C-alpha cells in the first residue's frame, strides 16, 4: 500500500515534469525572439560566472554590450586571454596586447628605516591606524598592519619587517590589495617584463621634511627626471613612471636615472631575473624574521 | 457574512494587516535589495503580484485535485490501483517541491511571454523577473493556500478566495516595497551616522514601518463586525422601548 502511494507521488512529479517541459519547449518556439547571433555566440564563449567583474550586470548583458560595440571584448577577468580571443574572433576585431597588471607597493621602508614610530595599541589594522594619525611620522608610507594581507585571497602579499611585500609568483593581479590600502600606496602597474622599475616611495613632501620622517624616502631632487624622459615629477615632488612609454628593451636612460638617484629610490620589483638568482646563489642570505608583535620594535614597545 | 464582504475582509487583512513583509517577514531579500528607487520598487512589486497570482492558481489546482488529503484525482487513482474503496490518498508531502517547480515554471513562461510581446516591460523588469523565482512571498502564499484545502481544513477556500488572497498578498508586498523605496530616496539626503549607512539604517526603518503597520491590527475584526451587524428584530426593539418608558414612569 505504501508502495502504491510512493508510485503515485513519483508519478505526479513525472507527469508535472513532462507537462512543464513540453509547455516550456513549446513556448520557447512560439515566443522565440530574434536576436543578434553574435550575442549568443559571445554568451556561449563567456564563462557564465555572472560575476559582474566586467562592469555589466551579467554575462548576457556583457555580450549585448560587446555586440553593440560599447565595451571592449577583453573585459572578462574570469575568462582571461583565451576568452578575449574567442570574443575578438566572433566580433572580427584584433586585440591590443594587454599586459598583466600587478600591484606595486610604493614604499620600501622597513621598521629600522622609519623614524618616529609610535606606540600604537589600537586595533591592528591600517585603516584604524591611519585614522588615528601619529602612528609613524611618515604620513604616506606603509603602516605594516596588513590590511592588504587580509584582503588577498591568494596569499600573495605579506608584511615583511613592517613593509607589505608582494609575492609575484603567487599574485594574480586581482587588485584587492590596491583597493583596500588606506594610504593608496599600492598601484596596479602593467608589467611589461618580469621585472620593472618602480618608484619606491610615496612621500610628497620636500627633502628636509622627508629626511625627518624616513631614512630612505624620496627627497624630490629631480635627478631621475633630468636623466630620463620616462620619469615625470608630479606636483607632489615625487617622480612617476610613464608606463605607457616604458620599454623593457630600451632602458638606457632609465638605467642612468636609477644610478643617479641619491637615495636609491628607483627599485626593481617583480620576479628576479635569472642573472640575479645566479648572483646570490652562493651568498648566505639572512633569513626573513617574522615580526613578533609582543617584542620591542624600533625602540618602542609594540603591543598590537 | 455575505460573500463579497468576506472577500473584502480577506483582501484588507492580507494586504495591510497581515502584510507579507511587515507581519510574516517573508520577502525581505527583494524588500531590502530592490527598494532603492520608487520606479524599480514598483516594477518589482508588480512582478511579484503578477507571478504570485499565477502561481497561486496553479498551486490551488494541483493541491485541490492531487496533493491535499482526499484529493479527488489522486484518491480515485489510489483506489483504482489498490482496489480498496476506503483508501484516501495524501500527497501533501510533495507540496514544497511541487510549488517550487510550479513557480519556476510560471516565471519562465511569463518571462518568455513578456520578452516576446512586451519588450519594453522586459527591459524594465530586467534581472528581477528571474529573481522572483526565489522570492519567498510566492512560496509562502502557496503554502498558506495549502492549509485551506482538503479534508480537515477548518476554513476551506475555493479558487476565488485563493485568488484574492494571492493577489492582495502581492499588493501588500507592493505597498510595503514602494513605501520603503520612498523613504530610502529621502534617506539619501539625511545625515546618517557612518556605521549605520546602507543596510543598517534600512533594517531600522523597516522595523519602524513594521511597528507602524501593527497599528492596523483589529481593523479586520471591526470591519467584519460592522458588515455583519444585523438590525435588531422589531419585536425586541418594541419591547425595549416599552420597558424603557415604563422604567421612566
**Hey, is the C-beta of A206 within 8 angstroms of any chain B C-beta?**
no
CA A236/CA A174 separation, integer angstroms: 28
| Burial (Cβ within 10 Å: 0-12, 13-18, ≥19) of residue A87 | buried
Give the pLDDT confidence of A214-259 residue by residue, as tens digits.
Answer: 888 888 888 888 888 888 887 777 888 888 778 777 777 888 888 8
Instruction: Return the percentage of chain A with pLDDT > 70, whole number.
Output: 87
Best B86, B105, B121 residue to mutate vs chain A (most A CBs within 10 Å): B105
User: Is B91 within 8 Å of A8 when comparing Cβ atoms?
Assistant: yes
Using CB atoms, which residue from A16, A27, A31 is nearest to B98?
Answer: A16
pTM beyond 0.90: the answer is no
Give the pLDDT confidence of B90-109 residue by residue, as tens digits.
Answer: 888 888 999 999 999 988 88
User: Is A28 within 8 Å of B112 when comparing Cβ atoms?
Assistant: yes
Give the pLDDT confidence of A156-181 residue by residue, as tens digits.
Answer: 898 988 899 888 888 877 788 888 88
DSSP secondary structure letters along A28-52: HHHT-----HHHHHHHHHS------
pLDDT of residue B155: 81
**Hey, is the C-beta of A14 within 8 angstroms of any chain B C-beta?**
no
User: Is A24 within 8 Å of B105 when comparing Cβ atoms?
Assistant: yes
Helix and strand element counts for chain A (H, E): 11, 10
User: Is B102 within 8 Å of A7 when comparing Cβ atoms?
Assistant: no
Smallest CA–CA distance from B109 into chain A, residue: A24
CA A187/CA A189 separation, integer angstroms: 6
**Hey, is the C-beta of A58 within 8 angstroms of any chain B C-beta?**
yes
Phi, psi dihedral angles at A104 (to 5 degrees): -125, 125
User: CA separation (Å) from B155 to B47, B57, B118, B217, B219?
Assistant: 29, 18, 39, 21, 20
Closest to B93 in 3D by CA, of B146, B37, B158, B54: B146
User: Is A9 within 8 Å of B127 when comparing Cβ atoms?
Assistant: no
Q: Which cell is A142 given?
A: 606603509
SS3 B81: helix
Using CB atoms, which residue from B105, B117, B127 is nearest to A20?
Answer: B105
Could you tell me if the ipTM is greater than 0.95? no
Smallest CA–CA distance from B110 into chain A, residue: A27
Report chain B's C-alpha Rg in angstroms: 24
pLDDT of residue A296: 47
pLDDT band at B212 (very low <50, low <70, confident <90, very high): very high
Mean pLDDT across the stretch B124-142? 82
pLDDT of residue B180: 93
Angle at CA of residue A268, ends A265 and A273, nearest 5°: 155
User: Is A8 within 8 Å of B102 when comparing Cβ atoms?
Assistant: no
Smallest CA–CA distance from A59 into chain B, residue: B127
Q: What distance, in Å, lies between the first and last C-alpha atoms of chain A?
A: 69
pLDDT beyond 70 at A7: yes
CA A39/CA A56 separation, integer angstroms: 14
Residues with Cβ within 8 Å of B212's Cβ and at least 6 positions away in sequence, in order, are none
**Structural contact between residues A12 and B89, judged by C-beta atoms closer than 8 angstroms:** no
DSSP secondary structure letters along A235-268: TTS-EEE-TTS--TT--HHHHHHHHH-TT--EEE
Of the two residues B43 and B56, the one the predictor is more confident about is B56
pLDDT band at A304 (very low <50, low <70, confident <90, very high): very low
Residue corresponding to grid cell 564563449:
A45
Using CB atoms, which residue from B78, B101, B112 is nearest to A20?
Answer: B101
Amino acid at each position: 500500500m505504501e508502495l502504491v502511494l510512493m508510485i503515485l507521488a513519483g508519478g505526479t512529479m513525472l507527469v508535472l515534469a513532462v507537462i512543464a517541459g513540453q509547455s516550456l519547449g513549446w513556448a520557447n518556439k512560439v515566443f522565440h525572439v530574434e536576436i543578434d547571433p553574435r550575442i549568443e555566440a559571445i554568451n556561449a564563449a563567456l564563462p557564465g560566472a555572472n560575476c559582474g567583474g566586467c562592469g555589466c550586470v551579467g554575462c548576457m548583458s556583457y555580450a549585448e554590450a560587446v555586440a553593440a560595440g560599447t565595451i571592449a571584448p577583453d573585459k572578462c577577468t574570469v575568462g582571461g586571454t583565451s576568452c578575449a580571443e574567442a570574443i575578438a574572433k566572433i566580433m572580427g576585431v584584433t586585440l591590443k596586447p594587454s599586459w598583466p597588471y600587478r600591484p606595486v607597493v610604493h614604499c620600501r621602508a622597513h621598521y629600522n628605516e622609519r623614524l618616529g614610530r609610535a606606540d600604537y595599541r589600537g586595533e591592528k589594522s591600517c585603516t584604524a591606524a591611519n585614522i588615528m594619525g601619529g602612528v609613524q611620522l611618515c604620513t604616506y608610507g606603509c603602516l605594516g598592519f596588513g590590511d592588504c594581507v587580509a584582503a588577498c585571497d591568494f596569499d600573495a602579499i605579506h608584511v615583511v619587517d613592517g613593509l607589505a611585500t608582494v609575492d609575484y609568483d603567487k599574485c594574480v593581479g586581482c587588485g584587492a590589495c590596491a583597493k583596500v590600502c588606506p594610504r593608496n600606496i599600492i598601484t596596479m602597474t602593467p608589467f611589461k617584463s618580469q621585472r620593472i622599475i618602480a618608484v619606491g616611495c610615496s612621500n610628497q613632501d620636500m627633502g628636509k621634511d622627508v629626511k625627518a620622517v624616513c631614512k630612505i624616502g624620496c627627497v624630490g631632487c629631480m635627478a631621475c627626471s633630468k636623466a630620463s624622459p620616462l620619469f615625470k615629477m608630479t606636483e607632489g615632488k615625487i617622480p612617476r613612471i610613464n608606463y605607457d612609454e616604458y620599454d623593457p628593451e630600451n632602458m638606457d636612460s632609465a638605467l642612468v636615472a636609477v644610478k643617479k638617484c641619491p637615495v636609491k629610490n628607483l627599485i626593481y620589483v617583480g620576479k628576479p631575473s635569472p642573472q640575479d638568482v645566479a648572483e646570490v646563489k652562493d651568498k648566505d642570505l639572512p633569513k626573513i624574521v617574522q615580526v613578533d608583535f609582543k617584542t620591542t620594535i624600533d625602540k618602542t614597545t609594540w603591543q598590537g | 457574512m455575505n460573500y463579497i464582504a468576506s472577500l473584502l475582509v480577506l483582501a484588507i487583512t492580507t494586504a495591510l494587516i497581515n502584510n507579507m513583509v511587515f507581519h510574516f517577514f517573508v520577502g525581505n531579500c527583494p524588500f531590502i535589495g530592490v527598494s532603492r528607487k520608487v520606479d524599480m520598487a514598483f516594477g518589482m512589486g508588480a512582478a511579484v503580484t503578477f507571478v504570485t497570482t499565477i502561481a497561486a492558481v496553479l498551486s490551488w489546482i494541483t493541491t485541490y485535485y492531487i496533493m491535499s488529503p482526499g484529493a479527488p484525482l489522486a484518491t480515485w487513482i489510489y483506489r483504482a490501483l489498490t482496489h480498496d474503496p476506503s483508501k484516501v490518498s495524501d500527497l501533501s508531502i510533495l507540496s514544497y517541491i511541487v510549488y517550487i517547480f510550479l513557480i519556476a515554471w510560471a516565471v519562465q513562461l511569463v518571462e518568455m511571454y513578456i520578452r516576446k510581446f512586451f519588450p519594453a516591460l522586459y527591459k524594465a523588469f530586467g534581472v528581477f523577473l528571474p529573481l522572483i523565482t526565489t522570492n519567498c512571498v510566492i512560496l509562502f502564499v502557496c503554502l498558506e493556500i495549502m492549509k485551506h484545502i482538503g479534508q480537515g481544513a477548518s476554513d476551506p477556500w475555493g479558487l476565488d478566495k485563493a485568488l484574492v488572497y494571492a493577489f492582495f498578498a502581492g499588493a501588500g508586498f507592493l505597498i510595503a516595497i514602494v513605501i520603503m523605496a520612498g523613504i530610502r530616496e529621502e534617506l539619501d539626503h539625511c545625515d546618517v551616522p557612518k556605521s549605520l549607512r546602507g543596510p543598517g539604517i534600512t533594517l531600522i526603518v523597516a522595523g519602524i514601518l513594521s511597528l507602524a503597520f501593527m497599528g492596523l491590527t483589529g481593523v479586520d475584526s471591526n470591519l467584519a463586525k460592522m458588515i455583519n451587524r444585523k438590525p435588531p428584530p422589531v419585536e425586541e426593539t418594541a419591547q425595549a422601548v416599552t420597558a424603557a418608558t415604563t422604567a421612566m414612569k
